[in-house]
Chains A and B, each alone.
Chain A
Amino acid sequence: MDTLFLEFFQNTGFYLCDYRNIIMILIGIVFIYLGIAKDYEPLLLVPIGFGMLVGNIPIFTGLGLGIYENNSVLHYLYFGVTQGIYPPLIFLGIGAMTDFSTLLARPVLMLLGAAAQAGIFITFLGALALGFAPNEASSIGIIGGADGPTAIFLTAKLAPHLIGPIAVAAYSYMALVPVIQPPIMRLLTTRKERLIRMEEPRQVTKREKMIFPIVAFLLCCFLAPAALPLLGMLCFGNVLKEAVVTERLAVTARTAMIDTATILLGVTVGASTQGDVFLVPSSVGIFVLGAVSFCIATASGLIFAKIMNLFLKSKINPLLGAAGVSAVPDSARVVQMVGQREDPTNFLLMHAMAPNVSGVIGSAIAAGVLWSLMA
Chain B
Amino acid sequence: MGSLSDVFKESMVFNSLEEVDLKKIMPLFEKWELNTGDVITTAGDIAQYFFLLESGTLLLSMEEGKSVILETPGDFMAMELLSKKGVYTTTTTALENGNVFAVSREAFLSLIQEDTPGAETIMQAWQEFCSKTAAFAENIVDINVPGLY
Instruction: Report A-B touching, CB under 8 Å.
Output: no
**Which residues of B are in contact with A by a Cβ distance under 8 Å?**
none
**Which residues of A are in contact with B by a Cβ distance under 8 Å?**
none
